[in-house]
Structure 1
Amino acid sequence: MNIDFKRYYFSKQRNQFTLPEDTYQGWCLLAANSGRFTFSLGGDSQEERMASFGELVFCPPGVLLKRQAVEPISFHFAEFTVNDGTSFPELIRIKDIGRLSSTLRYLQEWQEEDLDIRKNEDAAHLLEDLLFMTNREQHINPKHGAGSLDPLMNQAAANIEVQAFGDNLSLQYIADLLGISSSQLTRRFQAAYGLSPIRYATKIRLTKARSLLAETSDTLEDIAEQCGFQNAFYFSRVFSQHMQISPSAYRRTFRV
């Protein structure tokens, strides 16, 4: 895929988009970081759809994109062109939320460092990773890519993402926020993502822990704190149980 990225922008939380509609010379990618928005392509309001965290919206070049926040929203926006005729779905849901979150977070950091994404190969690779995940989702999980998962559970996943690295992760709070019971949350989340909310949070924490073990000299106590574990002992036990290797052994093996 021959891609030329034009621009990237991350918006912190706001009540509404500055422009309720617009057209772009290249492909437009829009992704909620928090909150939800409705959108339609080509000006057809009857085809209005909802998007939330975990979903990527694509608008082709020259097509009118209408969007409206239904609650306070933060979002990622990118514009790019392709030179080989590749097309993208209007809406795709990414199952690998951990990878998606990491990629979007790194892109946000590039912007905060005032780097021109068009001149930075690392940032461009991150944007390419979003397209790779889109392509992979289309081929491996086409039904989910069409938006068949539970939209409310995407909001649950977004809230877990926000709380995962703190010490106050509360499924009851998330359930109350979504207007469902904690048992409904667990059941519906399991059906949508194939794992429980707690296991999902653990997966996110361990993804960050692996990076810190391989890329930093932080102590296990520091890593435990940064990743939302109670202490180094509990972190080591959970890490060893899920990864089949101790944190120290993982660091020795994968640190370069």
Structure 2
Amino acid sequence: MIGKLQIKRYYFGKQREQFSLSEDTYDGWGMLAAQSGRFSFSLEGAEQGEQIAEFGELVFCQPGQTLRRLALEPISFHFAEFMLDSSWTLPSKIRIKDVGRLSSTFQYLQEWQEEVDHGDHQWKVVHHLIEDLLFMANREQLTAQRNRSGTSDPLMNQAAAYIEMQAFEHELSLQGLAVTLGIGASQLTRRFQTAYGMSPIRYATKVRLSRARLLLAETPDTLDAIAEQCGFQNAFYFSRVFSQQMQISPSAYRRTFRV
């Protein structure tokens, strides 16, 4: 589980020949990710030695650890420093398979960087976007751990695939999914929580909100239409869930990120 997240700072570096600093040490966790180009990096005290990272890979540095980096070609990048209140351990580099979602989140972060006024609600948006990156990293980490230990739960992989395909349908029923899988609803919830670090309901909500973010930023669709396309009962319920989860209303989100 990711735990409570506190963003200390975020920065998008436009394309340049080299990083301003060749190394740095952070009080919190550091995350560095290339949007374009490649860089080499090493972490003080790590066994892996020097590694190379490119788009699709997130590099993490533990609190108090020194991160050394060198651009291998012109590079643009995202950097964040954050605190976690959990003991979740991050590997030094994680490859994200869902590059479409990663690219979308990077784009929203870049657009935020270009905003002149970074008020409280904009910072809440950044918090959600960094949390989304950590959610993707956590999912990849859990998948890798299951594969290494041989304890992957194929049935829960089926459940996740089903939720992703059916999340935008109003009649999505976890009880029906449990019946389809041949297990009880409580067992589904327990096993899904173990496999993915969250409940099936929260997983479905994240899938729905990810699509809603895209529609708000890239289409002129009304809130009623977006609610319909994302599986929410109506615009009122959609707005309430969106505002609770992202700490910003759908309308304010659209004003912030609409190009």
TM-score range, shorter chain: 0.5 to 0.7
Of 9, 34, 37, the match for 1:7: 9
Q: 1:26, CA displacement in angstroms?
A: 0.5
Taking structure 1 as reference, are residues 45 and 72 closer, same or farther at Cα in structure 2, changes over 3 Å only? Answer: farther
Question: So what's the TM-score if we normalise by structure 2?
Answer: 0.56
Of 28, 31, 37, the match for 1:29: 31
Three-state SS of the structure 1 residue aligned to 2:35 is strand
Contact in 2 for aligned 1:36/1:69 (Cα 8 Å): yes
Equivalent positions of 1:1-256 (< 5 A) are: 1-42=3-44, 47-116=49-118, 120-142=123-145, 211=215, 215-217=219-221, 253-254=228-229, 256=235
Query: Which amino acid in the other structure matches residue 18 of structure 1?
Result: S
Contact in 1 for aligned 2:215/2:221 (Cα 8 Å): no
Question: So what's the TM-score if we normalise by structure 1?
Answer: 0.56
Superposed CA offset, 1:193-230 (max 9, x none): xxxxxxxxxxxxxx89x727984159xxxxxxxxxxxx
Partner of 2:152: none
Taking structure 1 as reference, are residues 14 and 142 closer, same or farther at Cα in structure 2, changes over 3 Å only? Answer: farther
Contact in 1 for aligned 2:29/2:81 (Cα 8 Å): yes
Superposed CA offset, 1:99-122 (max 9, x none): 111111111111111354876212
Query: Which amino acid in the other structure matches residue 47 of structure 1?
Result: G
Taking structure 1 as reference, are residues 59 and 117 closer, same or farther at Cα in structure 2, changes over 3 Å only? Answer: farther
Q: 1:140, CA displacement in angstroms?
A: 2.2
Taking structure 1 as reference, are residues 115 and 144 closer, same or farther at Cα in structure 2, changes over 3 Å only? Answer: farther
Q: 1:46, CA displacement in angstroms?
A: 7.0
Partner of 2:163: none
Cα distance in 1 between the residues matched to 2:220 and 2:36:
29
Q: 1:52, CA displacement in angstroms?
A: 0.1
Contact in 2 for aligned 1:43/1:65 (Cα 8 Å): no
Partner of 2:168: none
Cα distance in 1 between the residues matched to 2:100 and 2:5:
24
Q: 5+ unaligned residues in a row in structure 1: which ranges?
A: 146-206, 219-249
Q: 5+ unaligned residues in a row in structure 2: which ranges?
A: 149-210, 236-259
Cα distance in 2 between the residues matched to 1:144 and 1:41:
26
Cα distance in 1 between the residues matched to 2:217 and 2:51:
41
Q: 1:133, CA displacement in angstroms?
A: 0.5
Aligned length: 164
Q: 1:49, CA displacement in angstroms?
A: 0.2
Contact in 2 for aligned 1:93/1:144 (Cα 8 Å): no
Query: Which amino acid in the other structure matches residue 128 of structure 1?
Result: E
Partner of 1:194: none
Cα distance in 2 between the residues matched to 1:39 and 1:108:
23
Cα distance in 1 between the residues matched to 2:119 and 2:63:
20
Contact in 2 for aligned 1:43/1:66 (Cα 8 Å): no
| Bigger shift: residues 109-118 or 5-14 | 109-118
Contact in 2 for aligned 1:32/1:52 (Cα 8 Å): yes
What stretches of structure 1 move > 6 A for 4+ residues in a row?
A: 43-46
Query: Which amino acid in the other structure matches residue 216 of structure 1?
Result: P
Taking structure 1 as reference, are residues 216 and 58 closer, same or farther at Cα in structure 2, changes over 3 Å only? Answer: same
